[in-house]
Structure 1
Amino acid sequence: MPLPAKLLVDIHTHVYLPRYTALLRSRSSVPLIRSIVNSEGVAEDRLLILDHEPSGGRPVGPQYWDREEKLNFMDKHGIDISVVSTANPWLDFLPASQAHTLASELNNDLEEYCSTAPSVASRQIKRLYGFGLLPLVPEITTSALLDIVKQIGELPHLRGLIMGTRGIGRGLDDEALEPVWAAIEKAGLVVFLHPHYGVDGSAWGDKDNGHVLPLALGFPFETTTAATRLILSGVFDKFPSLRLLLAHSGGALPALSSRLASCIDHDPVVASRLKHDARYYLGKLYLDAVAYGPEELGFVSDVISRADKFETGSSAKAAPNRSAGSKRMLFGTDHPFFPPLSASEKWKSVTENLEAINDVQGWSEEDRSGVRGENAVALFNL
């Protein structure tokens, strides 16, 4: 009997569920969706998720909320399964009581979105799974957060949760989140860490460069800082089975990890805080493969693969094994963001990331299949 075809699984793909878009349409301050008449006299919806959004926000349409549009996109690009997540800014802008209620409702909505989707042909597996939402806002109670972790863990088509970088207001290294990390670890959920706020926008200057600087640089730098603060907090020592997936291939963290380790070693405040060299913890992470270039993906897999030699007491001296590093990398598209400028084209966020995976030197075909989908099948227990 022939083996089933290898799956293509998209783990970085977003949806603004109807309940969420209704809330955004009701708002008069960012974040919001508003209707405008564009320069060609055509009415269109615009999504504003950042203050001072360039170009008056992003044009949005059914691809942001319609499940058939998601499935059509998947069919056009040969994607078998998507693990979808509510996109930023999640519930960050809401008061605690409203955030708690809406998180529960949106998690149930996402379960229905996934559970009523079609299955992969010839397999007992759905085409859609999801990351749930936590009401991570100031003033939320620990018990409310733990209730939602429990809910997500019990919804069969939700296999993790998406999280921004602010936590409940003081960042993800806030000790108040430790019961939440413990519950997430115990439930076996994957945490998808995704940016929203970028960094200080004054760094971008006055020249109009559209969305390029805040998205290409600000978002990954935000992820880099948040993940580094988590490492410094000792979260991975306290919760060694916690599974954290970083957006955008970990931002700048792989490239700066040795500099980070050196700074820790020379700083009396943190030099003895961690059980291992900082580079060890990169091997505890999962990273999406949304990097658009084979050299970047190869480098990231090198950095992941060398992590074990930085475990305290390790005597490993072997060169990085790029193949081993690939086991913690997973394909993503960032749909529905970054659409092609021509409606007839395939999305470069798909084609360029697949080409990058295909062209990494030192990855076997088995490694490539893993990054395209088999790693996700294992990580999310599909």
Structure 2
Amino acid sequence: MATRRQALQTLIGGGMVGAGLFAMPAQSASAAPVGGQRIDLHAHMIPPMYRDAVLRAGLLVPGGLPLPAWSPESALAFMDEFGVVTQVLSISDPGVRFVSGPDAMRLARSCNDYAADLVRTHPTRFGSLVTVPLPDVAASLAEITYGLDVLGMDGVALLSSYDGIYLGDPRFEPVMALLNAKSALVFVHPGELPAGSAPPLPLPSFLLEFPFETTRTAVEMIAAGTLDRYPDIRFVLAHAGGCLPYLATRLGAPRAVAPDAIPSVSLLGLEGALRRFYYDTALSASASSLRSVLEVTDVDHIVFGTDWPFSGLTYSTSDTDDPAPGLSDVFDADGRARVERITPLTLLPRLAAELR
């Protein structure tokens, strides 16, 4: 008889041919302290209409990986296997930016309606983040308003850049102003560079360019003063902030060695800006990653994430029901509870009310 883990591997494996090359080795660890109460702030959905649109556009390996198999049922099976009570779902790279104009608007709306319907059906098992049709600012303002005010979604998902335009760019100022007015939760996920922009390395984008892109957009937002002007946006950076925590000392160095060369006065407040961000643990739940994060912020700004289903094979090869055993190398039981449940719920008031 097949085990639950074998069944889960079958559910997620169909779309991941060749991805086993990047699977993490199996680990063993004792059960995590929060059991089945984890809140996963970094999880993705791939609705049928979205998959069809991506494949019609010829995007067979967005970000360097084929689209994995996904369904609400496979998501729930994964969650039950690894003690996750709720996944907050977003559309990953490429978002809807591979189409434009009315097509992008329609696809974003379809994704948002799909997500909202899923949350209505499973209000404690799923949350949802608004998909926006950037770089179309006017359409994105309308979709943010629709998603947050009409559908009651839990926040907004943004890619690190759109057509090479990073999030601190003045062209996106109206979007930031609206998000600030709504005190929105904003999840920042890396996206692939425009065609021809990435270095010609024999590596898929998700390995190096994704964390670099998160770093670029975060630093640009700091330098542009975005965090200063919009203090009510709650930004969550994917994958432990990319390289941002590790580079904090270097980014602050010009104040001492070349103060006249600082490109932006906002960099003078670097430490405060780094503490403003939240950092998720997706593909980063290790001592080497998270101790760097703890050098620039505190445990209450770290939140649990899995990056499922794109990270699916890293879980199907594990021999523990703890989805992030490396967290115990950094946090005690109280710290893990903060990362995996308490802090995420402070960012998700609708879900917190549902789970009471």
Return the match for 2:308 from 317, 335, 343. Answer: 335
Return the match for 1:95 from 100, 124, 129. Answer: 100
Residue in structure 2 matched with residue 48 of structure 1 by the alignment: 61
Residue in structure 2 matched with residue 326 of structure 1 by the alignment: 299
Task: Determine helix, strand or coil for the equivalent of 1:327.
Answer: helix
Residue in structure 2 matched with residue 316 of structure 1 by the alignment: none
- The 1-side partners of 2:100 and 2:48 are apart by 20
Residue in structure 1 matched with residue 54 of structure 2 by the alignment: 24
Residue in structure 2 matched with residue 375 of structure 1 by the alignment: 343
Number of residues of Structure 1 aligned to a counterpart in Structure 2: 313
- The 2-side partners of 1:184 and 1:75 are apart by 33
Please list the CA deviations of residues 172-231 of structure 1 after superposition, one character each: whole Å capped at 9, or x if unmatched.
1221211211111111221111112159543525xxx6x4xx323221111111110111
**Is 2:269 aligned against 1:277?**
yes
Residues 198 and 220 of structure 1, relative CA distance in 2, 3 Å threshold:
farther
Residue in structure 1 matched with residue 66 of structure 2 by the alignment: 58
Q: Does 16-25 or 155-164 show the bigger shift?
A: 155-164
Residue in structure 1 matched with residue 201 of structure 2 by the alignment: 204
> Superposition pairs for residues 1-382 of structure 1, below 5 Å?
7-27=37-57, 29=58, 31=59, 47-50=60-63, 53=64, 58=66, 60-61=68-69, 64=70, 66-117=71-122, 126-137=124-135, 140=136, 142-155=137-150, 158-167=153-162, 169-197=164-192, 201-202=198-199, 204-205=201-202, 211=204, 214-263=205-254, 266=258, 268=260, 270=262, 273-274=265-266, 276-290=268-282, 291-304=284-297, 325-340=298-313, 345-346=317-318, 351=322, 354-360=324-330, 363-381=331-349, 382=351
Asked whether the equivalents of residues 134 and 148 of structure 1 are also in contact (C-alpha less than 8 Å), the reply is yes
Task: Determine helix, strand or coil for the equivalent of 2:235.
Answer: strand
Q: What letter corresponds to residue 49 of structure 2 in structure 1?
A: R
Residue in structure 2 matched with residue 39 of structure 1 by the alignment: none
Residue in structure 1 matched with residue 10 of structure 2 by the alignment: none
- The 1-side partners of 2:255 and 2:211 are apart by 21
Asked whether the equivalents of residues 245 and 295 of structure 2 are also in contact (C-alpha less than 8 Å), the reply is no
Please list the CA deviations of residues 40-78 of structure 1 after superposition, one character each: whole Å capped at 9, or x if unmatched.
xxxxxxx4214xx5xxx52633xx2x1111101111111
- The 1-side partners of 2:314 and 2:343 are apart by 31
- The 2-side partners of 1:48 and 1:299 are apart by 31
- The 2-side partners of 1:89 and 1:342 are apart by 23
- The 1-side partners of 2:315 and 2:348 are apart by 34
Q: TM-score, normalised by structure 1?
A: 0.75
- The 2-side partners of 1:12 and 1:299 are apart by 20
Task: List gaps (5 residues or longer) in structure 1.
Answer: 32-46, 120-125, 305-324
After superposition, the CA RMSD in angstroms is 2.6
Shift of 1:168: 6.2
- The 1-side partners of 2:309 and 2:177 are apart by 32
Asked whether the equivalents of residues 297 and 356 of structure 1 are also in contact (C-alpha less than 8 Å), the reply is no
Residues 195 and 272 of structure 1, relative CA distance in 2, 3 Å threshold:
closer
Task: List gaps (5 residues or longer) in structure 2.
Answer: 1-33, 352-356
Residue in structure 1 matched with residue 23 of structure 2 by the alignment: none
Shift of 1:271: 5.4
Shift of 1:280: 1.7
Q: What letter corresponds to residue 326 of structure 2 in structure 1?
A: A
- The 2-side partners of 1:96 and 1:275 are apart by 36
Q: Which has the larger radius of gyration?
A: 1
Q: What letter corresponds to residue 48 of structure 1 in structure 2?
A: V
Asked whether the equivalents of residues 280 and 304 of structure 2 are also in contact (C-alpha less than 8 Å), the reply is yes
Asked whether the equivalents of residues 164 and 196 of structure 1 are also in contact (C-alpha less than 8 Å), the reply is yes
Q: TM-score, normalised by structure 2?
A: 0.80
- The 2-side partners of 1:342 and 1:244 are apart by 27
